[in-house]
Chains A and B, each alone.
Chain A
Amino acid sequence: MLYREAGDFKKSYAEDSQTFPLKLDRYAYYTVLAIAFLVVPFVINDYWASAVLIPFLIWSIASLGLNILTGYCGQVSFGTGGFMAVGAYAAYKLMTSFPDLNIMIIVLISGGITAAVGVMFGLPSLRIKGFYLAVATLAAQFFLVWLFNKFEWFYNYSASGQISAPTRSMLGFEVTGPTASAGAKYLFCLVLVVLLAWVARNLTRGRIGRSWMAIRDMDIAAEIIGVNPLKTKLTAFAVSSFFIGVAGSLIFTVYLGAVDVGDTFGIQKSFLVLFMIIIGGLGSILGSFIGAAFLVLMPVLLKNVMVGIFHWPSDIASHLELVIIGFLIMITLILEPHGAAQLWRVTKQKLRLWPFPH
């Protein structure tokens, strides 16, 4: 009754092709943005920032990145962890070599460096497909982690091979380092998330996105209608790696502050991001966020419920957490194989007809 187009007249092409055609959606989106920018930074504390919201925002960027490559362009990648490591180490080398460089620029350049590395590892995708490409990207994962462990130049010859982020400020507020305030760190990540999600949304519904989807749906047909597979696949790898590199550099600079490459960017992180986009929904911007929320926030929520409210031993809670999350993944995928985003799409359709479905 309420959730429908009726009465919401579009008077221009721009209005007709907007991301949120429904008034209700639009208002909800603006409200969320307003709360995220104007309310949350002032009420957030260290726990909510470091354990809940910052990881959620950063993993959303990573999952957006992988969704561009896998969800939109159909190229399966297991190299996400390795590419994140490139972003983190690029940020470290830039931060220590150019102490005066603005942290926002550092994050964006490290994304750019990751994009270049991603294109390099994307080259085999022109010859190999499917599982074989997956194995090639798996090689990227192991090679990159090995590289950052092996060559001391990457970690400035420190005794332990760890990299630690020095303090850097943005507009007079510290955003990295231990003394940075929760609100500043959160806002820094939020700005990047909103910016990159906007870029992703507009790339995927434009010419480039359509060529990615054409390649995904049938590469031979796409080639025949004039889509250049070389350009298309490599742009997908570049854009996706850029997002993932930004996420990696944020994990290192803002979130953790110190990184041990095998521990933080191991193969399990590649799978984590892949699970995010599968659960959230392949080829969906909203799905990237839902997937990240499910896999990052759910464990924290479960832990707080089981340990904080029921006072169960934390190791039992930790075991149960794995069981419950595994169970929820199975349920989600059985009920809706196309992910949570599809669930939302179906709900929206039903809402438009409600309460008169016939």
Chain B
Amino acid sequence: MKFTKLAIIALAAVTAGSPVLAELEFPAIAYRTGPFGANGAEVADGYADYMTLLNERDGGIGGVRINAVECETAFNAEKTIECYEATKDSGALVYTPLSTSATYQLIPRVTADGIPLHTMGYGRTSAANGDVFRQVFNFPSNYWNGASVIVNHLLDINDGSLEGKNLALAYHNSAFGKEPILTLEALAEIHGFDLTLLPIDSPGQEQKSQWLQIRRERPDYVLLWGWGVMNQVAIQEAANVRFPMENLIGVWWSGSENDVTPSGMDSDGYKSVAFHNAGTDFPVFDDIQQYVTDAGLSAGTGENVGTVLYNRGLYQAALLAEAVKVAQEMHGVADITAAMMRDGLENLVVNEEIMGAIGLAGFGPSFEVSCENHGGPGLGAIQQWDATAQSWTMITDFEESDMSVIQPLIDADSAAYAAENNIASQCN
């Protein structure tokens, strides 16, 4: 008797849990725990809140509701694989792993399974060559664009010449940190600056010796390629060795509130490159407030709305939602598949009109994705931290990176990948 009751309850639970209506599956591979959990949680909040907003305000995209279930990885490769295998057959439309190492593991898998992968501002840079990496997208900017934008900014403030200057790169000793080295070495040759490489082991709490070396050698500029706790420690250490803060420039993963607030006033003037805006001065945030925060549907506590990383998660969700719209229009189906999603991503056009329509005018650069170019135009701006006002200010516009240097590198690296894996040109 008891058993039958249990069985009925179990059956009811299973039927209630299974999707009855068509849904757009966005499995959110996220990390709110582990060494990088503090940062991962903000990105995940932004992503989830925008998806919730679309469901609550518009009833999904094109009338189909979004199902964005999170899968926790703790920034761990094995758990990422577990999450991927668990969700890939549920009709997953796109994956966003927020980890460069995990991206390398997922690229062959998504290519075999035909599911798109969107690595926004991280991942394998040469995936920008859509001719080789059919399923992988890394618009609007990648690491090599970021490195080049930083160097361009340094050129600007040094009257166009970095001859004889000494740049140091303090990087997370992993795939993520090593990515920009190739570009920086090429740029060093062109512009005549010296490049010192300072690897910092994950997670990066221990970097005394690297900063002692910086103190001894006094490089003119230090580029920071870190994530999570490594950034906080680096900025504090830079302050400790009295390194001028405005000469310390981070990648976009080293440019959030989490990185600068722990060192208080010391971090005033710290710069980082960015591919989107921070703050809540955009109409979409009114809707977030009304439909998500006030309705008690926030993924997080609701306090981090408008931070750099929250906005990044939101931006990514917004771009993916636009790609869904493109896909729905192209194929005339509302309940799209992963293959249609890929077409949507590949034909995505983002301009001020489209961004204005979703309440994000001026939030990020305008760009177009094409079959050959999955990486967008690679625009970036420099933002600077104001410790008194506790806010980031854009000190440049979204500017172009040196594609004459980057494109040959992308072509060479992706050609090597294509040769290794017998991938033929697929765009023509």
Contacts and interface: CB of A to CB of B under 8 A. Distances in A.
Given A263-B77, A314-B72, A177 B199 contact: no
Contacts of A260: 77, 101, 104, 174-175
B125 A159 contact: yes
Interface string A288-326: 000000000000100100010101011101110000000
Nearest to B33: A318
Nearest to B106: A258
A256 B72 contact: no
Interface stretch (A123-131, A160-168, A188-196, A201-209): A160-168
A319 to B, nearest CB: 6
Contacts of A169: none
Contacts of A164: 104, 108, 420
A311 B13 CA distance: 11
Interface in B69-109: 69-72, 74, 76-78, 81-82, 85-86, 88-89, 100-101, 104-105, 107-109
Interface string A172-187: 0000011100000000
Contacts of B175: 160-162, 260
Contacts of B72: 303, 314-315, 317-318
Nearest to B13: A309
Contact of A315 (B33, B104, B109): B33
B86 A51 contact: yes
Nearest to B413: A159
A266 B174 CA distance: 12
Contacts of B13: 309
B202 interface: yes
B179 A159 contact: yes
A112 to B, nearest CB: 26
Contacts of B71: 307, 314
A47 interface: yes
B168 interface: no
Nearest to A163: B104
Interface string A254-268: 011110101110100
Contacts of A303: 72, 82
Interface string A237-269: 000000000000000000111101011101000
Interface size class of B (residues with CB under 8 A): 35 or more
A55 B70 contact: no
A50 B82 CA distance: 7
Nearest to A304: B86
A332 interface: no
B101 A51 contact: no
B178 A178 contact: no
Interface string B232-254: 00000000000000000000000
B421 interface: yes
Contacts of B70: 313-315
B383 interface: no
A299 to B, nearest CB: 8
A149 interface: yes
23 contacts: A47-B85, A51-B82, A51-B85, A149-B173, A160-B178, A162-B101, A164-B108, A166-B421, A167-B421, A178-B109, A255-B81, A256-B105, A257-B108, A258-B108, A260-B104, A262-B174, A262-B201, A300-B82, A309-B13, A311-B17, A313-B70, A318-B72, A319-B33
